[in-house]
Structure 1
């Protein structure tokens, strides 16, 4: 009986020890600090310094609805929300654009908050088509860019930088059409700090609040 009891106690200690280790990885140290998203599984990670290897958005250069070049440099030092769409989409893209429009209203005129929507059918979505789409949805190009460009570059940044291709996670095929409902919140240093379902109105409130948290974190008014 003593041997059985000893084995039982050791087992309990191992389980508790493992649980404690797992908790250390996921427990938030500060409820007012957002996590980092560093891989395709989009698991939130909290931590500073060497505790978390922080993924960064790669350099990019596309053309927006005004025919102007838009690069990563335009977003350095800014908080921005990114997503992927196409103008001929008749389903969720309309919802995504409408919800992004709500964010635009919430931060209208704020030079430190921007939005970028990447066309996943750039061969169809010319600058002129993006301009017409932007005008129809009352998109302010000073704050929100709809971008087109080289398809391979758009698909690469969608998958490698924003982890924004739900089907590619499974298929791993480069020819897979980009599909994602996600809005990605990026901080002023180029790190992903929030992932949201862009089709849900309730998520707009979360993003709004999280943008305010990032402003506090980076001392932005």
Structure 2
């Protein structure tokens, strides 16, 4: 009986020792991850075969050429050296487009005093380009007091815009003819792009927490960019 009791005690002590070891290891791992997290750079995204994304390097935006509200051509090369946020809207949308533009304006205004605001851009792309002429985009942009030097509104050929949205930005856009308010269904995401033209994150602009995270991540990229020389438009 005494041998059995001693054996039970040994088993209990071993179990307690193992548990204590696991706790200490967990604490060490947590502390290391907590300390190192601020030193990690924001990941770059790459599309997978399933259409999802992984936190690895690789998702470059393709070259594009669209028309700004002032009638001038704008290409992706003009954003090299800048950190920028893109979204998709259309001016006759009676769904969530005005909300998206409101949130974009809030982000735009909140970064106006950033010491590196000259290296931040905002890009709204119309998914209804046949209707959204440069003049209509001018009128729409005026509602949001958008400075054309910092916030551009783009239109172009529908096929090119939709291809860019789907294959370039990996976002949804499709016809929704039964929806009078939004005959074109499209993403509510804001897309964060770095100075090298790589996508760094997708953020649901209808989610306040994700909008807050976007601002944090954008400023983080700008801080990283500030350690490099200013790149001329290419």
Q: Report the equivalent of 1:37.
A: 45
- Rg comparison, structure with higher value: 2
Q: Report the equivalent of 2:74.
A: 70
After superposition, the C-alpha distances for 1:135-159 in whole angstroms (9 at most, x for unaligned) are 1121111101111101111111111
Q: Which whole-Å CA distance do the structure 1 matches of 2:121 and 2:199 have between them?
A: 14
Task: Please report the TM-score for the alignment, with normalisation by the length of structure 1.
Answer: 0.75
Deviation at 1:66, TM superposition (A): 1.6
After superposition, the C-alpha distances for 1:117-139 in whole angstroms (9 at most, x for unaligned) are 11011000001100000111211
Task: Count the aligned residue pairs.
Answer: 182
Q: Report the equivalent of 2:88.
A: 84
Q: Which whole-Å CA distance do the structure 2 matches of 1:123 and 1:111 have between them?
A: 32
Structure 1 vs Structure 2 CA RMSD: 2.5
Task: Please report the TM-score for the alignment, with normalisation by the length of structure 2.
Answer: 0.71
The SS at the match of 1:140 is: coil
Query: Which residues in structure 2 correspond to 1:190-205 (within 5 Å)?
Result: 190-205=197-212
- Please say if residues 57 and 190 of structure 1, whose CA atoms lie closer than 8 Å, have aligned partners that are also in contact: yes
Q: Which whole-Å CA distance do the structure 2 matches of 1:119 and 1:112 have between them?
A: 23
* 1:151 matched to 2:155: no
Q: Which whole-Å CA distance do the structure 2 matches of 1:143 and 1:219 have between them?
A: 18
Deviation at 1:39, TM superposition (A): 1.4
Q: Which runs of 5+ in 2 are unaligned?
A: 1-32, 176-182, 229-234
The SS at the match of 1:122 is: coil
Q: Which whole-Å CA distance do the structure 1 matches of 2:81 and 2:94 have between them?
A: 34
Q: Report the equivalent of 2:129.
A: 122
Q: Report the equivalent of 1:59.
A: 63
The SS at the match of 2:145 is: coil
- Please say if residues 35 and 44 of structure 1, whose CA atoms lie closer than 8 Å, have aligned partners that are also in contact: no
For 1:93, which of 94, 97, 112 is the aligned residue? Answer: 97
Q: Which whole-Å CA distance do the structure 2 matches of 1:190 and 1:209 have between them?
A: 19
- Please say if residues 103 and 208 of structure 1, whose CA atoms lie closer than 8 Å, have aligned partners that are also in contact: yes
* 1:211 matched to 2:218: yes
